Structure formats: C-alpha cells, structure tokens
Chain A
Amino acid sequence: MRNALMILVVTLFCSQGLYSQVSAIRGSITDTVNKKQLANSSVMLVRKSDSVLVTYKRAAADGSFNMNAAPGKYVLMISYPGFGDYSDSLTLTDQLYDFGNIYLTPKSKLLEEIIIKKTIPAIRMKGDTIVYKADSFRVQPGATVEDLLKTLPGFVVDKNGNITAQGERVKKILVDGEEFFSDDPTIATKNLQSAMVDELEVFDKKSDQAEFTGIDDGQKTKTVNLKLKEDKKNGYFGKLELGSDLNNYWSNSAMINYFKGKKKVAAHGLMASDGRTGLNFQEMMNYGGMGGAQTEMMDGGGISISIETPDDDFDWGTFQGEGLPKSWSAGGHFSNKWDKDRKNFNGTYRFKKLDNDANIVNRSQYITPDTTFFVNERNKTYSSKQSHSILGTYDVKLDSSSSIKVVVSGLKGNGRNFSALNTESINPEGDTINTGSRINTSLSENEAFNSSLMYRKKFKKAGHTFSATIRQNYSNNTSEGFLKAINTFYDSKGIMVRQDLIDQQKIKGNKRNYYQGMLNYTQPLSKKAFLEFNYQLSNQGLRSLKKTLEKSAPGDDKYEVIVPAFSNDYDFNTWENRGGMNFKFSKMKKYNFTVGAAASYTSLIQNDLIRDTTRKYNYLNFFPRVNGNFTLKGNRNLYFNYYGRTEQPSLNAIQPVADNTDPLNVSIGNPDLNLAIIHNFNLSFNRYDMLTESGYFMSYRFNISQHSFSTRNFIDSLGRRVYQTVNVDGVFNHSFYLDWNKKIKGTKFNFSTGPELSYRQDVNFVNTEKNIIKNGNLGGNVNLRYNVEKKYNFSIRASGSYNFSKSSIRSDIKTNYWLQDYSLNYGYFFLKKWELNGELNASLRQKTPAFPDDSNVLLWNMWLDRKFGKKDDVKLRLYAFDILNKNLGFRRTINSNLISERTYNTYNRYLMISFIWNFSKNGKPAGW
C-alpha cells in the first residue's frame, strides 16, 4: 500500500516537473470521545485551486499518517466511518507540516449540529438545486432558451449571451444532464428552442462544498441543467430530386418526414423512367414506414428484419426485369405512440404504377439423345400495372409482460398486358421444323386483404413465453384476354405437314381464402436449456376457374363456344396440422445449439366442378433440424446446420390444368408421384479482428435429395416438347466459398481474395433415356480497396470462373467456357465543393460453339457533383450513363438439356442533369 502511494505521489510530481521540492505532512488521528487511535482513517490532500484530489493515505494502526506533496495551497480532509469529517487548509512550503493530534468527533455527538444542517440538506437531497418549470414562464413562440432565461427571476443575460444566475456567472449548461456541444454555455442557449425545455435546474457548487466540509475552494461553478420535454422533439427532413436528360429519361422525386414528438408523418412521390420504381431500403426507413417490414431484436443484440407486404413487386426501388420501365409511385405514412409508449400505431398507403416495354430475343439449344436443335424466339411485350395498397399495425402493451399486435393490409390493382411472339425451331441441318407466332392480350384485376392478431406473454422466468397468432388471407385475381396463334410444322424436306390456328378468349379467376392459427410455447429447463413447442392448424380454400371460348364460325364477332379441353373449374380445400418441438441449449457469447423436428399432416381435396369428380390426397411430411454455433478462442466462430424436409408434389404436377397458351410446351400429369426428401448441410467457419481489420470467412454447403422432382421431356419430330414431373435419385450440389481479407499494415489498403467452387449433378429424362447432367464451376476473385475519407477512394475487383457442363445422353457435346468480371469504382473530392465518381464494369463471356456471337458487356458510368449552400445541402449532378454505349441486357442459362441465351432491351448511353436538395430541421435521415 505504502509503495503504491509512493508511486502515485512520484507520478504526480513527474507530471508537474517538480522532482526536488517535496514537502512532508504528518499527523495522528484520535477519537475525541474514547481517545482511541483511528486506524485506516482516510486522509486526503485536495488542491485548493480546483479541489482535485492530489493524494491520499490510510492512517496506520496507531492513527498516524505521513504524506508527501509538492509545495502549494491545499485542504486536508480526514474521514472515518461514523465520524464527522475534519478539514483544514494549509500552505505547504518545503518544510515539514505537522498537524500533531487531530481529533474526530462521532456523528452521534454532532447530533445537534447535524439537525441544524439537515434543514438545508433537505434541499440538497434533490441535488442542491433550484428547479424552474419552464412552462410557467411566458415566452414568444419560437423563442430560444436564452429568451427563456431572460424571463426567469434571478437570471440576467447580457448582450453577449453571458448568463448570470443568483449573481454568479453560469459556466456550464447541461442538457438532460449532459454537456451540449461544448463547455460554452451560449451554444446551448442560443440553439435550443425554449418550447423543448421542461424544467431548468440550477446547481451551485460552492454551497455544496461548504455545506459538508466547510472548505471554501474558491470555485463557484454555477451550472444550469435543461431537462427537455420528452415529447418536444419536433422537426423534419426530406429531399427533392429533379433529373432529366432533356429527351427520353427523367427521374423526379420528393420525400419528407415530419415529426413532432412521437408522431411522424411522411410522404413521398416519385416518377422515373430510368429504372427507379419506388423507395429503396434506406428511403423506406426514413419515408416509407419500413414498407411493412418488421424488425426485431434477438437475444445477444442481433436484429432480424422480416418483410411482409401486400405488394407483389417489392423490388427495393430498382427495376429487376427486362425492358425500359416508366414508373410512378406515391405514398403516405403516419405513426404515433401514446399512453407512455404502450400504444403504437403505424399506417401506410402506397400507390404504384409501372409501364414497361420489352423486346426480348431468346436463343435456345435443346440437346436430345439423337439430335440437337435450336429454338429462336422474338418477343415484344407491353405491360402496364397499377395498385393501391394500405398497411396498418397497432401494438398494445397490456402490461409489462404481455402485448397484442394487430396487422391489417389490403391491395387493389389492375393491369394490362400485350405480347407478340415469333418462334422458330431449327434442326442441326439448318432446316426449319416449325414456326409459330402468337398474340396474347389480357386485362386483369386483383385484390387482397390480410389480417393477423398476435398475443404474446412473457412469464416471470427468463425464456418462459407463450404466443398465439391467428391469421387470415384473402385474394381474388381475375383476368380476361385473347390468344391468337398460328403454329406451322414442317417435315425434313421442308414441306408443311400441319398448321394449327388458335383464336380464343380466355377468362380466368383465382380466389383464395386462408386461415391459420398458431401456438408457440417455450419452457426453460435451466438457465441454459429451453424446450420450444409449436403447433399450427391451417385451412386453405382455393377456387380456380379457367374458361376458354371460341367463335362458333370463323367470321363471328363473339366468342360463345366453350372449349372443354381448355376450360375447367376446380375447388381445392387443404387442411394442414403441423406440430414441432425444439430443444435449445445456449450460453451467451459461447455456444448455442438446437435440435428439433416437426411433422405435418396435409389432407387435400380436389373438386372438379365441371366434371363433378373429387380426388383426395393425404401426405405426412417431416422436418428434422440440427444447428449449432460455437465461439472458439481468438474470435473464431464455427457454425453448422442440417435441415431436412419432405416435399409433396404440387397439384399441377399430379393433375395439371390443361393450358394451350404455349402450344410448343405442353405439360401432362403424373399421379404416381412420391414425396421428395431433401437434406441440406451447411458448415461455416470465420474469424474477424476489428483492430487489424482482417479475417476470413469460409463456408461449405451440401444438398442432396431423394426422389426429387424433375422432368421427363418428350420431344417429338415436330420439335414440340411435352413434359411430365417424375421422381429421380442422384441429385446433389456441393459449394465452397472462402473470403480472406486483410488491411495492409500501415496503409489504407484493404485486400481480399478467395476461391468459389461448386459442383452439381442433376438428373432428368429425355424421351425414354435417363440423362445425368454434371455442372462445375471453378472461380475466384481478388479485391483491393483504398479509402481516404472525404478525399479519394477507389476499389478494384477482378473475378473469373471456368464453367463446364456435360450431359450423359450426349457426352460428345461439352459446354465449357470462361466468365470474367472486372469492376473499378472511384471517387475524388476536389476544390471543397466538387466530387467526381465513376464505375466501370466489364463482363467478358467466352464464345461457345452454340453461341458464337459477342456478348461482352462494358458499362462505364460517371457522375460529377457540385455542392452548394452553407451545409452543402444542395447538389447539382451531371450523370453520364454508359459512356461507351456498350451496355447490353443479357442472360445465359445452362440448365439440364437446355442451354439458352437471352438478350433484351435495356438502358444505353444518356446524360442526365439533376438537382438534389436535402433539407432538414432538428432531425436527420438514417443512413448506413
């Protein structure tokens, strides 16, 4: 103890640069009443100028103490449990300062004195504070805290904003007990709205000191604490963006989020023809009420996000399809919390409209045991769809342990579709074996209504919970349209053998009613082990109507004759009972392990209302699972899982609804289908170090299935494909991924690399022959990043893969090719207000014998920003898309005995100029 103190003292001296001048203090402490020596008394030497503790000692067994300190003015404080404090000021020179005997008095003897003092401590128990209630003093609307202070009795504010309270200069302003911006009190008082303040507390430090110890340290720090009203955080933020290439493309949007306490009102409007279709995820967070997503914090701090929307095309704000879309979208959001946050309401409305023009060219190669032929398609489509949707959630916390949540959503929409398709099949000799052209038009309407009610209860014991949910879904989709087609078939000599003409009206309807009840119960077995039970009962009623009508004579106007082969009316009714149990074993930050299983019994009734037949199917499905996560020494994480499931065949596979929309592809049913059994294994291992910004991530996946669903294809001499679902064995898939990343020490470079390997085997039947398809992929990537914040950054990525594919029925045909992707991103900040960014992407695809055309894509975009305004909140942007005019909509698929390449129209070179304004008051949008 003594040594430690010596070190401390010496350290203090070092810091002051005073090696030589050390003064000693000495004394002995005694109880005034019992005259006993008070061992272990705390003896503190406090600097007089700022009352900082310089050194301390505990008195020895005989009550004596010795301490050393640099010369200066001090206060010596002595305390002992149950005794009144002793304090005395002293000035240390380089001489020994001997206090001699110091007497402490038991508090019991100080009783009288204490009682007198207690009248004052009664105030001090509330922190020795004068409290002003802000609302009691009238100020003009929009007044600052400074204006408020001017009205308070005892406060004076001079023209420089300096505040005096009870005759003393206020040196510190706290906001909710915390320092606001800095120690300069005027920053807080000039910037905060008076209306936001609930209470003002004034502390006086001097009286605080003097009260207990009698030390006048000469410091008079008047402190004001502003306690803010909880519900007075008002403000808004938003953005306005206007952009155009002054020709074909435009991209305009406006968004605002206004908040007043816990109330939030947000609205947005957007119209764009550059591929933007709505709010992206970040905009959803700020203006879109999360678009129906639910976030939940899990044990240990993880966050899960689940998305449930009535909208079928939640596309994260960017068009994912083929073609050049134009889109309009608008929405409003309101949310509020009240009753001490126990009640929470969220409501969202959205309108979306999307028009799309697409031109698609598709070239396919079919491989059959004895021949190979090509199918070329040209498709021109136009579609327009729009929808209105609402979503509302209401959350009530009944008490601290139980809550109810109601979610209601609805959608109403309609659409128009037009498609004109030309197709031809060519045999290896180059002869056309069939041609077809068809026009499809349709008008559709759709509506949906969903609701759910969830009750949750947490019992006293941690992990002991119960929840019950009921859910209802309703949807009704109808469409009316026409199919006109001509299909012509030729023999090997090029002579027409057959021509089919179709001119039909199609009326379709699909109505679905779904009800579900769900119970979930978790029971802790110990602090680490839990049992989880769940049970679910559901019923689905589905009415599927399809009416095909023909003209009674080719010249007629009306379609009046029903075509029975392509008309049907089914009623499906499905009951499902599902129960499961999981055993969980976990220790936070060390491991968690789950083993469990579920089983479900499904009974399905199919009623053919036209032919008046009924079919019943019953299935028993199993879902075993094992997963575990272990944190090993050195921040290494090991994760594994196994999920097994059985899958029942779809009704369409057993008993397909006859359809002649595509007469070249016809499906037939298979009533003998069995359940498929699917096993998924996953193993991953990773490590990451925050400080050195380096680590690795490794993952291996293996899927294998028994009696999995595949197809049997019959391709006839006319090139028509008839297919049927069958069970096959021998389907599996391996994949391995490794990413190793490292920050290069002493630089701002981050480097990462790793291989990506996969191998899969598929099985199908072509005509009567079993076909085993092997697909392999050997790839890897290298990345380099360099970043100096607000100055410049760049990143380079190069990746490549070698793909090979082989089918057993035609081992003579090998499809092997290289894919290479390169990307370069860069940003440069200059002249304070300017910023230049660019991205260059190159996709190089090796030509194959089947596809000898050049299909490389080279896309280079650049944008230049100039910021304006004090806060840089206005931006002018010049955006150059596809500078080289080399962009291409392209997709290549290699799938069993079918290889296809698809090209479609997409955006090419344009130059857009945009005005972007980010505005805010008192708030800022969240951004990651």
Chain B
Amino acid sequence: MKRITIILISIMCFSELQAQFIKAGKIEFERRTNQHSFLEEENMFDAMIKESMPKFAVTYNDLIFNEKTSIFKDGREPENKKIHWSINYITNIVFRDLEKGSRITQKSIFGSEYLVQDSLLKVDWKITSEPRTIAGFECRKAVGRIFDSVVVIAFYTDEILASAGPESFGGLPGMILGLAIPRLHTTWYATKLELIEAPGIAPPKDGKKYTGEQFKKEVNEMLKTNEWLKKIAWQTLI
C-alpha cells in the first residue's frame, strides 16, 4: 500500500505538468467469486454445504508485466482454503506477447495441464466515461463481450503503458485493474502494484499442446457428455 501512496504522490506532483507512466511492474489481483451461486438453496445438501463454505472465495493472482510481455499466474495462497473445486482446480497461467500478438496459456483443469497457443483474446470493448479509482489509479470503465453473450466489465488505467489485465483480458489502451464477469459471479481487483525495473517474464512450458481452436473443440466435446460441467464451462475458456 505504501508503494501505491508513493506512486500516487509522484503522479500528483507531475500531474500538473507531465504524467509519470508505468512501464513495468507486478500487480496483485484479488479474485472474488460468489461460490454460493454454484449451489441451490432449496436443495438440502447444497444448503448444508453453503453453511460450511464462505460466500466469497478469495484467491490471489500476480500479473508481471513490461511494455511488451506479461504473465498472469497464481499468487499467494488464499487465507481461507474452503474454496469450491471449480475455482480451485481450474486455473490459468497466461503469457502474452503484445508485439507478436500471441498468447500462451497453461491451463490447469483438475490437475491436468494443457498448453494452449493462441492469438490475443479478442474483445469488442465499448469505452464509457465512468471513472473509478482502483489501487490508487484513476480508471475508466469499458464494457465488453466475449463468446457473443458473456458480458465483461473492465476498469483500466492509461497510466500503465502495458495493455494487459487479469486472465486473458486486455486490448485496452492501458492496464485493466478491475474486471467483473457477472455470468461467472466473479471480480478481479488490483490490490497493490510493485514497480520492478526489469521483471523476468518467460512463457509457461508444461502441458499437452493445443491450439486455441483445438482446445475449444475438445472442451465442447467434453461438455456434450458431461452435463454437470456446463456450469463451469466458461471458466475453462477465459
């Protein structure tokens, strides 16, 4: 938090003249998912599980970035580990190369690793004027859509030069510090930013190799036979 204050002060000082732009660093995102939304109230079994499970699962991710590349991955261990399996066991390590327009995602689905080579995620962003301050940065709201029907709300700041954000989201003129996907009952918000001069960013290597198209096809195939997975299908594709 202290660091943010320092950054803030420096931004304040310069703001009259020239803004200080951030080129590289590490952002911690706090991911909150309403895990009660996976459960039905009228079902006695689910109602009982709700009792022993906090409403929000809070997990952490780190995003390390410079102007050209970034990597998004698991951060520190969550404080409360009572986390629904679909959140705990479907995670991504996302490496992006903005120059090449490429993305390498190491997906971990119930412990199996898949290495998916794809282009950057395409989101049709609508820029709005709504402001919000996140982690000390002035952000602007953009509303996007993925897979034709899933609405994504992002708050990005142009004070960070890298175009990136949580999971595979990006494509805005700056860094996404806040992201909400109502369909997934999930938000990601930046809690702190550390300035790192030259961060080491390397693409992930583990897992069975797929292209984005192949992977999507496999997931769709899997959904055909596993009805119960539909609830968490989007999770595997973001």
Contact = CB atoms under 8 A, between A and B. Distances in A.
Interface of A: 1, 3-4, 7-8, 11, 31, 34, 36, 38-40, 42-44, 46, 50-53, 56-58, 77, 79-82, 85, 106, 108, 124, 128, 177-179, 208-209, 211-213, 233, 235, 237, 257, 259, 262, 264, 266, 284-286, 288-290, 294-303, 333, 335, 344, 395, 462, 527, 587-589, 631, 633-635, 637, 688-691, 693, 748, 787, 789, 923-926, 928
Contacts of A208: 128-130
B111 A926 contact: no
Given A789-B224, A924-B40, 18 more contacts: A4-B101, A11-B119, A38-B18, A44-B173, A51-B126, A53-B125, A212-B128, A259-B42, A262-B41, A264-B42, A266-B44, A588-B78, A634-B112, A635-B112, A690-B109, A787-B225, A789-B227, A926-B43
B32 interface: no
Contacts of A82: 11, 15-16, 19
A923 B80 CA distance: 31
B127 A51 contact: yes
Contact of B52 (A52, A108, A296, A589): A296
Interface in B174-225: 174, 182-183, 206, 218-219, 222, 224-225
Given A233-B41, A286-B44, A588-B81, A209 B19 contact: no
Contact of A301 (B68, B83, B112, B222): B83
A527 B79 CA distance: 9
Given A285-B45, A789-B227, A688 B126 contact: no
Interface string B126-167: 111111000000101010000001010000001101000000
A257 B42 CA distance: 8
14 contacts: A4-B101, A36-B18, A40-B21, A53-B172, A81-B11, A208-B129, A209-B128, A257-B42, A284-B44, A285-B44, A298-B82, A633-B206, A689-B112, A691-B114
A314 B2 CA distance: 59
B172 A295 contact: no
B138 A81 contact: yes
Nearest to B137: A81
Nearest to B156: A42
A631 B44 contact: no
B112 A690 contact: yes
A1 B112 contact: no
B127 to A, nearest CB: 5
A40 B161 contact: yes
B99 A923 contact: no
Contact of A81 (B77, B79, B85, B159): B159
B99 A1 contact: yes
Given A42-B174, A212-B130, A688-B110, A303 B49 contact: yes
Contact of B109 (A80, A691, A923): A691
Most buried by B among A77, A82, A212, A689: A82
Name the interface size band of chain B. Answer: 35 or more
Nearest to B131: A212
B209 to A, nearest CB: 12
Contacts of A691: 109, 112, 114, 218-219, 222
A34 B122 CA distance: 38
B127 A53 contact: yes
Interface in B74-117: 77-89, 98-101, 109-114
A635 B99 contact: no
Contacts of B128: 208-209, 212
A395 B51 contact: yes
B1 interface: no
Most buried by B among A39, A296, A924, A928: A296
B99 A286 contact: no
A922 B29 CA distance: 37
Contacts of B52: 295-297
A262 B67 CA distance: 51
Contacts of B119: 11
Contacts of B110: 635, 688, 690
A613 B225 CA distance: 69
B9 interface: no
A42 B42 contact: no
A264 B41 CA distance: 10
Contacts of B149: 179
Contacts of A923: 40, 42
Contacts of B82: 297-299, 301
Contacts of A289: 44
Contacts of A1: 67-68, 98-99
A285 B44 CA distance: 5
A285 B42 CA distance: 10
Contacts of B218: 691
Nearest to A108: B16
Contacts of B112: 634-635, 688-691
A295 B45 contact: yes
B125 A52 contact: yes
Contacts of A928: 228
B4 interface: no
A789 B225 contact: yes
B89 A301 contact: yes
A177 B182 contact: yes
Contacts of A290: 44-45, 48
B53 interface: yes
B47 interface: yes
A178 B182 contact: yes
A53 B142 CA distance: 9
Most buried by A among B19, B158, B173: B173
A63 B116 CA distance: 38
A655 B78 CA distance: 56
A344 B126 CA distance: 45
Nearest to B79: A462
A301 B85 contact: yes
Contact of A178 (B42, B83, B99, B183): B183
Contacts of B183: 178-179
Contacts of B6: none
A4 B99 contact: yes
A11 B101 contact: yes
Nearest to A85: B129
B138 A300 contact: no
B52 to A, nearest CB: 5
Contacts of B158: 40, 42, 79-81
A885 to B, nearest CB: 37
B101 A7 contact: yes
A482 B41 CA distance: 53
B101 A300 contact: no
A81 B19 contact: yes
Contacts of A925: 43
Contacts of A237: 42
B42 A297 contact: no
Interface string B39-79: 01111111111011100000000000001100000000111
Nearest to B151: A179
Nearest to B67: A1
A50 to B, nearest CB: 7
A395 B51 CA distance: 10
Nearest to B53: A297
Contacts of B45: 285, 290, 295, 926
Contacts of B130: 124, 128, 208, 212
Contacts of A8: 101, 171
B127 A77 contact: yes
A748 B225 CA distance: 9
Contacts of B19: 40, 80-82
Interface string B16-28: 1111010000000
Nearest to B110: A690
A690 B172 CA distance: 34
Contacts of B16: 82, 106, 108
Nearest to A211: B129
Most buried by B among A44, A106, A301, A689: A301
Contacts of B140: 79
